Structure 1
Amino acid sequence: MTPRADPLTVEVVDLIGTVVSRYYEEYEHAAAEHSLTGAQARVLSLLCVEPLPMRKVAQRLKCEPSNITGIVDRLESRGLVERRPDPADRRVKLAAPTDEGARTADRLRSSLGFAREPLGQLTVAERTLLKELLQRMLGIAPE
């Protein structure tokens, strides 16, 4: 028999779930305003961090590589992403944002008010603590 979580833990988990749900809802809406699906926006945003082979994009987004191929195809047809040889291994193709793709990703990020506005109500110390707690929960070493 599994021990029951204490009420505070249950409440925190519920709040995290609500934040995640609201974030995805706004993300989908912001993506649509840029004529993108949520999945296309996530792929484009990820590629703006660094160009990646599609297999790694699929791993990071936890989905099938064939789905990523279709998403990259559609982004490429819109001039937002391009495929280019990997300088480390020319047999591998990287998906990378075009200049227009990077600008679109920037506009998308700028239009996400849900997270930014409530976070702006926290002090710098509170945001720093929240960041450190989230990193600890995810097993990410603090910067």
Structure 2
Amino acid sequence: MKGSSGPPKALVKELADLGYALMRLLFQEAKEVFAQHGLSPQKSHLLTLLAQGVNLPSRLAEHLEVQPSQVSHLLAAMEEEGLLERAPDPEDRRRTLLRLTPKGEELHRKVEEAWLSAFARHLSRLEEEDLLRFRAILRKLTGVAHG
């Protein structure tokens, strides 16, 4: 960007509005996908985090930006539904490790496939060159070097 004053305010405002509209659109679509599988957005996010290997309740609370007690209630419900199981940490018996059950792994896979399909429908409006440019821009804005 030329100069130190940054982009024009009107452009920043328009980009902010468009970014917010895109987030709302995608979040609404995600909620619909999750609901089709009987999940709230938070439960779906927990499934994803557990599938990624986040296995401590305290770390889940950090990722979700909620109090540990809120995560505890969600985890109890998901355990009751047969989606996850708890086990003592073999290295520190005071801690509890979490992992998805086969039922939880299957549900995560189904929800992820449905969500990616929904997101792909939106992305299909762009040409391949635009998709690659969009990815490069998102990487630059988020500081993510590669996929």
Q: Secondary structure at the match of 1:142?
A: coil
How far does residue 136 in structure 1 lie from its aligned partner after superposition? 2.1
The answer to whether the aligner puts 1:99 opposite 2:102 as a matched pair is yes
Provide structure 2 residue ranges, at least 5 long, that are not aligned to the other structure: 1-5
Runs of 4+ in structure 1 over 4 Å off: none
User: How has the CA–CA distance of structure 1 residues 84 and 131 changed in structure 2, closer, same or farther, with 3 Å as cutoff?
Assistant: farther
**RMSD of the TM alignment (CA)?**
2.2
Conserved in 2, the CA contact under 8 Å of 1:132 and 1:142?
A: no
Conserved in 1, the CA contact under 8 Å of 2:57 and 2:72?
A: yes
Alignment coverage as a number of residue pairs: 141
Match of 1:127 in 2: 131
Match of 2:57 in 1: 54
Match of 1:33 in 2: 36
Provide structure 1 residue ranges, at least 5 long, that are not aligned to the other structure: none
Larger Rg over CA atoms? 2
2:114 to 108, 111, 114: 111
Conserved in 1, the CA contact under 8 Å of 2:54 and 2:60?
A: no
Match of 2:3 in 1: none
User: How has the CA–CA distance of structure 1 residues 73 and 111 changed in structure 2, closer, same or farther, with 3 Å as cutoff?
Assistant: same
Conserved in 1, the CA contact under 8 Å of 2:55 and 2:97?
A: yes
Identity %: 24
Conserved in 1, the CA contact under 8 Å of 2:61 and 2:67?
A: yes
TM-score (normalizing by structure 1): 0.85
In 2, Cα distance between the equivalents of 1:128 and 1:84?
Answer: 43
